[in-house]
Amino acid sequence: MIVRPGENWFRLLFIWNGSVLQSIIPQLGFMGAVSCLAVLTQGRIFGEKIPLNTAPFTLFGLALAIFLAFRNNASYERFNEARHLWGSLLIAARALTSQMLCYAPHNDEKLRIAHTVIASVYALKHQLRKTDPSPDLVRLLGRTRAEALQHTCYKPVALLNEIRRDFADLHTRGLATDTKLWMFDAQINELGKTIGGCERIASTPIPFAYSVLLHRTVYAYCVLLPFGLVDSTEFFTPLLCVFISYTLIALEAIASEVAEPFTTAPNALALDAMTRNIERSILELCGCELPAEVEPVRAYQLT
C-alpha cells in the first residue's frame, strides 16, 4: 500500500508512482492510434463514413459513468470491509492477550500463547496472499511446531484451535475459572470471525460478468468516440479522446485493484505494516522487546 503525504494541487497533476497510469499506458497508446486514424481518414473506415455524432455519446457516456460508479463503490466496499476486519483482528488480539496476562498471571506459558496469537495473524496474512508462512512461523513458534503445521490447509484456524486448547488446559489445571474460560473463548471467537470474514472476501470476487460487461463497454465507447468527435474537434480529437479514455480506463483499473485488498498491489491494504503493528502491540503487553516498525511504502520510494 502507498502512504503519501499531502501534496499541493500542482504536484498532484504530475504524480506518476502509485497511480494506475503506469499500467494503462498501452491502452492509451492504442486509443491515441485509433484517434489519429479517425483524423487521417476523416471518420471513414474502408472508405465509408461512420455516421456518428456527439448526441448518442453524451447519453451513452452518462449511463457508462453510472455503471462505473457502481463498480467502484462495490470494489471500495470490499476494501473498506477488509480494513475493518483487520482492525477487529487487532482489537481482539490485544484483548485476548491482556485478559490472559491479567486473569491468569501465574501461567508460565503466557509468552507461548502470545506468540501463537501473533503467529495466527501472520498465518492469515500469508494465506490471503498465497505466500509461504514458514519463515514467520519458525520465528514465532519454533521449527518443531511450525513443521507440524506444514501440511495444514487453514493454518490460522489451526493456531486458534491450539490457543483454545491451551486455555482449556489452564481450566483443567485450576488456573482459570469457568467465567475466565468463557471470557477467553469469546475473544477467540472474535478472532475466528475476522479470519472467516477475510477468507470470505478473498474467496468471493465480484461476479466476473460485471467485469466483462464493464470492460467491453468502456473499450467500445473509447474506440468509437474519435469517429463521433472528429467532425467537430478535428486535429484535437486525439488529445480529447486520450484524456477521456484515460478517465474511463483508469476508473476500471482502480476498481479492479481495490476489489482485491489483500494483494501486494500499490493500493491494496498494507498487511505487512498492520501485521507487524499487531505483533508489536502484543509483545509490548507482554513486556518483551519490540521489533522495528514496518512502514508502508511511500509513493516517492517506488521505482
Per-residue b or e along 207-219, where b marks 16 or more CB atoms closer than 10 Å to that residue's CB: eeebbeebeebbb
Q: Does 22 have pLDDT greater than 60?
A: yes
| Per-residue pLDDT at 117 | 97
Where is pLDDT greater, at 293 or 191? 191
Residues of 142-179 as b/e, b for ≥16 C-beta within 10 angstroms? Answer: eeebbeebeeeeebbbebbebbbebbeebbeeebbeee
Q: pTM for the whole thing?
A: 0.86
Closest-CA residue to 55 (of 185, 284, 228): 228
pLDDT in tens, 30-62: 999 999 998 998 878 777 777 777 777 888 888
Q: Which residues have a Cβ under 8 Å from the Cβ of 109 and sit 6 or more positions away?
A: 166
pLDDT digits (tens, 9 = 90+) for 195-251: 999 999 999 988 888 889 889 999 999 998 898 888 888 889 999 999 999 999 999
φ, ψ of residue 240 to 5 degrees: the values are -65, -45
* 259-277 confidence digits (pLDDT tens): 999 998 888 898 999 999 9
Report residue 127's pLDDT band, with 50, 70 and 90 as the boundaries: very high
Q: Are 97 and 117 in contact (CB under 8 A)?
A: yes
Q: Is 70 exceeded by the pLDDT of residue 144?
A: yes
Give 64's pLDDT tier (boundaries 50, 70, 90): confident
Q: What is the pLDDT of residue 303?
A: 37
- Alpha-carbon distance 265 to 99, whole Å? 36
Question: Could you give phi then psi for residue 233, rounded to 5 degrees?
Answer: -105, -15
What's the sign of the alpha-carbon dihedral 149, 154, 160, 162? negative
**At 109, which amino acid appears?**
E
Cell numbers linked to 284 = 509490548
Burial of 183 (0-12, 13-18, 19+ CB in 10 A): middle
Indicate the pLDDT class of residue 139, thresholds 50, 70 and 90: very high
Q: Can you say how many angstroms the Cα of residue 135 is from the centroid of all Cα atoms in its chain?
A: 23
